[in-house]
């Protein structure tokens, strides 16, 4: 899927390149020059603002509609022949103020068209599994990926923007199972994200997307489930130790106490089943057997699973 990180694809291409015969018929793979993230963000933001300023959507189709579908959304470019008399339907007005964040030590801005907030019981965490439909397209309105039938993704496997945007919406309030096996989701989160390349694929290329492309995604958030990637009894979102919405390891300094790797073994806690590296699995440092190691405080006043000096096991 285009949404997923393409590291494996890049690896395959690289291996394939080096395995090819070096003959006169070989074709060089064009080198992508890595641009400065801050400079690229300025260019991308200008492109996104231009798109938002020259396109409008069918706003009336979503007024009072608590169960909107992205299939109902029509975005139209303003031309000499096509204009809109409703200023609120102009995307630049409909999205409101940009949302700011810091990612990869760079200040970013992106935009959301909120078609329906959703009225379910929860919003996904940045590392949960989500059940969605979506459509992705470029600022040239070229669709590069879509899913009409709901699909499930682990948000940690997707481009950064999805981890930033989807937690701002709620899942469906309810659902109805039809006799033909399909499901209708009611009052679910629905929106459109307009994102710079730095929150997308940045310098990477994939099918239908060139390097440094700002992107647009329509989406419907239907359901979500909390992940525990290492099955240690601690939900993954609680193992984001610095609460920045990403899992980061400082490989330049594995003793860095501000990243998400407690024992400095190069594995972030959410994927490490022995978080403090004391030889006792985190799940076995749950002494009150309530399934939650975070509330088992050791003699040093901190949770046992984060204290390498607390080496007792409950098994």
pLDDT in tens, 221-232: 999 999 999 999
Cβ atoms of 71 and 218 closer than 8 Å = no
User: Given a cut of 60, is residue 280 above it in pLDDT?
Assistant: yes
Cβ atoms of 282 and 273 closer than 8 Å = yes
> Where, residue-wise, is CATH 3.10.50.40 in the chain?
7-225
Is the sign of the CA dihedral 83, 84, 89, 90 positive or negative? Answer: positive
**Fold observed for domain 7-225:** Chitinase A; domain 3 (3.10.50)
Task: Name the token pair of 90.
Answer: 């102009």
SS3 158: strand
User: Given a cut of 50, is residue 107 above it in pLDDT?
Assistant: yes
Which pTM was predicted?
A: 0.88
User: Given a cut of 80, is residue 163 above it in pLDDT?
Assistant: yes
d(CA 96, CA 165): 15
CA triple 44-205-158, angle to 5 deg = 80
pLDDT the model gives residue 31: 75
pLDDT the model gives residue 81: 76
Q: How confident is the model at residue 233 (pLDDT cuts 50, 70, 90)?
A: very high
Pick from 86-90, 101-105, 150-154, 178-182: least confident: 86-90
Comparison of pLDDT for 275 and 84, the residue scoring more = 275
Pick from 87-96, 266-275, 303-312: least confident: 87-96
Pick from 140-144, 204-208, 276-280: least confident: 204-208
Task: Name the token pair of 186.
Answer: 């009611």
User: Given a cut of 60, is residue 8 above it in pLDDT?
Assistant: no
Please report, in angstroms and rounded to a whole number, the separation of the first and last CA atoms in the chain.
Answer: 42
Task: From residue 290, give the alpha-carbon distance in Å to each of 177, 225, 294, 296.
Answer: 34, 20, 10, 9
């Amino acid at each position: 899927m285009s949404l997923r990180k393409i590291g494996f694809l890049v690896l395959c291409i690289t291996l394939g390149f080096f395995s090819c015969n070096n003959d006169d018929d070989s074709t060089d793979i064009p080198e992508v020059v890595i641009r400065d993230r801050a400079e690229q963000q300025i260019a991308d933001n200008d492109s996104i603002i231009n798109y938002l300023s020259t396109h409008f959507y069918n706003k009336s189709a979503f007024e009072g509609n608590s169960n909107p579908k992205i299939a109902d959304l029509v975005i139209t470019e303003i031309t000499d022949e096509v204009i809109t008399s409703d200023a609120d339907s102009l995307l630049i007005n409909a999205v409101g103020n940009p949302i700011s964040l810091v990612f990869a030590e760079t200040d970013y801005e992106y935009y959301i068209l909120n078609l329906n907030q959703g009225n379910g019981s929860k919003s996904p965490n940045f590392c949960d599994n989500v059940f969605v439909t979506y459509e992705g397209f470029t600022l040239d309105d070229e669709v590069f990926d879509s899913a009409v039938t709901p699909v499930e993704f682990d948000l940690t496997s997707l481009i950064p923007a999805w981890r930033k945007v989807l937690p701002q919406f709620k899942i469906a309030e309810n659902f109805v199972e039809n006799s033909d096996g399909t499901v209708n989701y009611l009052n679910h989160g629905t929106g459109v994200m307009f994102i710079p390349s730095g929150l997308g694929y940045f310098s990477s290329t994939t099918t239908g997307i060139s390097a440094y492309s700002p992107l647009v995604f329509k989406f419907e958030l239907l359901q979500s489930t909390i992940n525990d990637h290492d099955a240690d009894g601690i939900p993954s979102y609680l193992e984001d130790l610095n609460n920045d919405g990403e899992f980061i390891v400082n490989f330049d300094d594995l003793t860095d106490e501000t990243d998400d790797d407690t024992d400095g073994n190069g594995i972030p806690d959410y994927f490490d089943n022995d978080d403090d590296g004391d030889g006792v699995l985190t799940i076995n440092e749950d002494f009150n057997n309530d399934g939650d190691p975070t509330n088992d405080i050791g003699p040093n006043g901190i949770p046992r699973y984060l204290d390498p000096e607390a080496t007792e096991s409950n098994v």
